[in-house]
Amino acid sequence: MAKQPATKPDFENSGAMRSNKGSASGVRVYVGDCRELLPRIPHVRNSKVDLVFADPPFNWSRAYDEWRDNMPRNEYLDFTYDWLDLCIGALNEDGSIWVNIPDDTAAEIVIHLKRRGLSMVNWCIWHYRFGQNTTSSFIKSKVHALYFCKDPESRTWNPTEILEISDRASTYFDPRTQSKRDGMPAGKRVPMDVWYGPYWGRIQGNNKERRHQHDNQLPEVYLERVIRATSNPGDLVLDPFLGSGTTGVIAHALGRGFIGTEYSKANARRAFERIEQGPVRLGAAADAVTAIHKPRSRRQPVAP
Ligand SMILES: C[S@@+](CC[C@H](N)C(=O)[O-])C[C@H]1O[C@@H](n2cnc3c(N)ncnc32)[C@H](O)[C@@H]1O
């Protein structure tokens, strides 16, 4: 295990913080290293988790509050495989796991999950504008959102919870979208596997969602899509790298139980407060239009 500061509050000292709001399972936030905490949390140990969302440190020397984000590569990979195995063990037989990860470790995670017998459902891309400027290579503008499940037949999948307006309806005014027979409402579709659009940018500047002292906060719309599509109200959601708490905020607002672990005590406290305050954009991406071409002008719009 990589050397991290020895002054970490341990599980017994910090315990669990509970919310009285929300579903029967409530919200629990634990402070410490997820590799030590997860095996001690009963719902995790007993494989009662329905959905895992993990946005780990990328090992990019980011200035996290307490975590040292600069492990030797081999240690980082061991760390990655360790927390992945704990999260896989936490899932029930119908459970799913999402991992938010950049290019440099996506392949290793995909192979590890496959070796552990999980099935890939989608390899999604979160595309954002305003990546770090560079002239020595193409500018990075994406992170991978890897969606795996234990059992493709029994996984939870709620497509009607996350629909958007199709390009045929918004842009090409194609009447065939009104009579399609894919089970989805006329003019709408399940989003594509590249995610972008209004509210999908990195959270920075004066963004309404922004929490101070977090420079790697995910947008609420991202977690709303994941949680709505791949869990049900009353399900249990786990995030081993809570950060500013985005997963917990959305899970709690949507009536899911939530367990989060976070290495920084200050982050954990702020995340818990944010979860209690609730989201600022819930529902903002509903029925979005993500077409990249201007609407064709010669035909009249087709009402969705
Ligand atoms: C990329 S951030 C997560 C951001 C989060 N998704 C959000 O929207 O705010 C990673 C977080 O994991 C925490 N962390 C790093 N290593 C950890 C570990 N071993 N156990 C628990 N938390 C850890 C860091 O302190 C940091 O807050």
Going from the Cα of 300 to the center of ligand 1, the distance in angstroms, rounded, reads 48
User: Over the stretch 224-276, which tens digit does the pLDDT of each residue have?
Assistant: 999 999 999 989 999 999 999 999 999 999 999 999 999 999 999 999 999 98
CATH number at residue 232: 3.40.50.150
pLDDT above 90 covers what percent of the chain? 62
Give the contacts of 244 (CB within 8 A, at least 6 positions apart).
211, 214, 217, 267, 270, 271, 274
User: Over the stretch 28-80, which tens digit does the pLDDT of each residue have?
Assistant: 999 999 999 999 998 899 999 999 999 999 999 888 888 999 999 999 999 99
pLDDT of residue 14: 44
Please give all residues whose beta carbon lies within 6 A of any atom in ligand 1, as ranges. 33-35, 55, 57, 64-65, 67, 214, 216-218, 240-241, 243-244, 246, 261-264, 267
Beta strand 236-239 pairing with 257-262: parallel
User: Over the stretch 85-124, which tens digit does the pLDDT of each residue have?
Assistant: 999 999 999 999 999 999 999 999 999 999 999 999 999 9
Ligand 1: which atom is nearest the Cα of residue 223?
8
Asked whether residue 4 is assigned to any structural domain, the reply reads no
Asked whether residue 302 is assigned to any structural domain, the reply reads no
Asked whether residue 66 is assigned to any structural domain, the reply reads yes
Please state at what angle helix 73-90 crosses helix 103-115, rounded to 10 degrees: 50
Q: Which domain holds residue 217?
A: 11-277
Q: How far apart are CA 83 and CA 57, in angstroms?
A: 12
Whether the CB-CB separation of 44 and 220 falls below 8 Å is answered with: no
- Ligand 1 site-directed mutation target among 239, 242, 259, 272, most atoms within 8 Å of CB: 242
pLDDT above 70 covers what percent of the chain? 89
CA nearest ligand 1 atom 7, residue: 217
Ligand 1: which atom is nearest the Cα of residue 58?
1
Query: What is the reported pTM?
Result: 0.91
**What b/e string do you get for 163-177 counting C-beta neighbours within 10 Å, with b at 16 or more?**
bbbbbbbbbbbbeeb
- Give the residues across from 8 on adjacent strands: none
Tell me how far apart the terminal alpha carbons of the chain are, to the nearest angstrom.
54
Query: How many domains does the chain contain in total?
Result: 1
Asked whether residue 170 is assigned to any structural domain, the reply reads yes
Q: How far apart are CA 233 and CA 252, in angstroms?
A: 9
Beta strand 119-127 pairing with 142-149: antiparallel
Asked whether residue 300 is assigned to any structural domain, the reply reads no
Least confident residue range of 21-25, 29-33, 61-65, 289-293: 21-25
- Ligand 1 site-directed mutation target among 52, 67, 71, 209, most atoms within 8 Å of CB: 67
CA nearest ligand 1 atom 18, residue: 33
Asked whether residue 236 is assigned to any structural domain, the reply reads yes
User: Over the stretch 129-171, which tens digit does the pLDDT of each residue have?
Assistant: 877 889 999 999 999 999 999 999 999 999 999 999 888 888 8
User: Over the stretch 200-223, which tens digit does the pLDDT of each residue have?
Assistant: 888 877 788 888 777 789 999 999
Asked whether residue 285 is assigned to any structural domain, the reply reads no
Asked whether residue 304 is assigned to any structural domain, the reply reads no
* Average pLDDT score over the chain: 87
Going from the Cα of 243 to the center of ligand 1, the distance in angstroms, rounded, reads 4
Token pair recorded at residue 124: 């999604």
